[in-house]
Amino acid sequence: MTRTDFDFGFPTEVIEEGKGKFLVPRLKAFVKSPSEYAPSKAPVFYNPVMKLNRDIAVLALQAYQRIVDREISACEPFAGCGIRGVRFAVEVNGVKEVVMNDISGKAVQIVKYNTQLNDAGEKVKFRHQDANLLLSRHGAPRKRFDVIDVDPFGSPAPYIDSAVRALRDGGLLALTATDMAPLCGVHPKACIRKYGGKPLRTEYCHELAARLLAGCLATIAAKHEIGVNVVFSHSADHYVRVYALVEYGAKKADESLRNMGYVLHCFRCFHRESRNGLSTLAFPEECCECGSKLSVGGPLWLGELSDKDFCQRLEEEAKQKKLERGERIERTLRLAQNENDTSVGYYVVDKLCDALNLPVPSIKKVVEGLREEGFQASPTRFNPKGIRSNAPAARIKEVVSKKVRVDL
């Protein structure tokens, strides 16, 4: 890391990420104690922890460009220091233009500086306005983008409508949500307000967060007679991320709305089930396994949360790019390819063992045990301790207990 006090009026330094060098706020200068969240204290936003998010975004852009096999345009309406957008311009082949925008004048100054620092001036255009205004100005046919990466503070929900309108038919939309407290059921009212669905405070809430976000996107897109196809999603640290392709047409919108529905969850015995459709009238009130009252989450996206072919392409790009600490990304992508997320809600083995008062067996053994009994089972990218399976909760508990006995 190089220190520099290039005159932005606050302490800065130059860091390296991907193939670029970036001037960023010197975060340590803005916090009084290590427990303070440094990125939000600095005059311009920079979060080193989001490198993984940006790395995958670069891979996704490249995979998308190879699929469409022509020059593409991208927009980053919330640019911060510009690391993501400049990386798009510098690292992705076949990008002809990146429009980078931020409502903060200081951020736009740094974006310009970082663009020059990386010789990306020919491809990058700068904007300094509200993201919804920018995206709405790109809502006309010849002005739309191929890719839009919505990475705001908190919820992307207020920007989904304008982002969908600013995407070309077949375009790729990436959404980051960092408001995990609403999405994971700590603040259910806020989740209903923002995403139009009720969250559940379950052990698989990170998956539900992706489903609530994808559901919100599908519902908003449908109003414009646009369908969505979720090609990848993941959750890490304090956020959830969804990548979706959009397709114009009322039929496409109807098809994607058929993926909407509800999750019914029993907090007593871990049973969960999903119901497609938007009516809750015929829902059972009691758990079919233990008779306790069921809780209902949704409406949310019950369809696939990733596309195998797209994930395989991401993995190939990851291998080619030889990313720093790329193993974690490659592992996530391999897990996504093997995960059958049509069965909603993974089981967290630690949580099951807590309830059963048992020591914790290895995930690998439980997965093997379930497969031996003829069920589908795989680890999940959403939780290192999680198992996704089509087995009923009671059978999963049996297999966990059996594996613990074998271990003893």
* Residues found near ligand SAM in the complex (CB under 6 A): 45, 50, 54, 77-81, 83-84, 101-104, 107, 130-131, 151-153
Alpha carbons within 13 angstroms on the beta-carbon side of residue 108 total: 15
Closer by beta carbon to ligand SAM, 162 or else 306: 162
> Is 12 or 101 the residue whose CB approaches ligand SAM more closely?
101
Interface residue with Zn ion among 97, 130, 255, 289 (CB under 5 A) is 289
269 binds, among ligand SAM, Zn ion, none (CB under 5 to 8 A by kind): Zn ion
Residue environment code for 95-126, b if the CB has 16+ CB neighbours within 10 A, otherwise e: bebbbbbbbbebbbbbbebbbebbebeebbeb
Nearer to Zn ion, 165 or 268 (CB): 268
For tokens 């803005």, the residue is 30
290 contact, one of ligand SAM, Zn ion, none, CB 5-8 Å limit per kind: Zn ion
Nearest distance from C-beta of residue 87 to ligand SAM, angstroms: 9
Contact call for residue 288 and Zn ion (CB under 5 A): no
Q: Shortest approach of ligand SAM to residue 107 CB, angstroms?
A: 5
Tell me the CB-side half-sphere exposure of residue 233, using CA atoms within 13 A. 30
Beta-carbon contacts of residue 263 (< 8 Å; ≥ 6 apart):
200, 208, 211, 272, 273, 274, 296, 297, 298, 300, 302, 344, 345
Residue 269 found at the interface with Zn ion (CB under 5 A): yes
Q: Supply the angle between the helices 51-68 and 83-91 in degrees, to the nearest 10.
A: 40
50 binds, among ligand SAM, Zn ion, none (CB under 5 to 8 A by kind): ligand SAM
287 binds, among ligand SAM, Zn ion, none (CB under 5 to 8 A by kind): Zn ion
Residue with tokens 């990058």: 124
Those residues with Cβ within 8 angstroms of residue 405's Cβ, 6 or more apart along the chain or in another chain: none
Among 287, 352, 353, 377, the residue binding Zn ion under the rule CB under 5 A is: 287
Under the criterion CB under 5 A, does residue 304 sit at the interface with Zn ion? no
Restricting to residues 157-216, which ones interact with Zn ion according to CB under 5 A? Answer: none
Burial of 57 (0-12, 13-18, 19+ CB in 10 A): buried
Of 120 and 377, CB closest to ligand SAM: 120
296 interacts with Zn ion by CB under 5 A? no
**Shortest-Cβ-distance residue relative to ligand SAM:** 80
- Helix extents (H) in 17-92: 38-41, 51-68, 83-91
Number of residues that bind Zn ion (CB under 5 A): 8
The distance of closest approach from Cβ of residue 400 to ligand SAM in the complex, given in angstroms and rounded to an integer, is 39
Q: Is 266 in the site for Zn ion (CB under 5 A)?
A: yes
Shortest CB 143 distance to ligand SAM, Å:
18
Q: Give the Å distances, CA to CA, from 367 to 28, 70, 322.
A: 43, 42, 30
**356: Cα separation from own chain's centroid:** 32
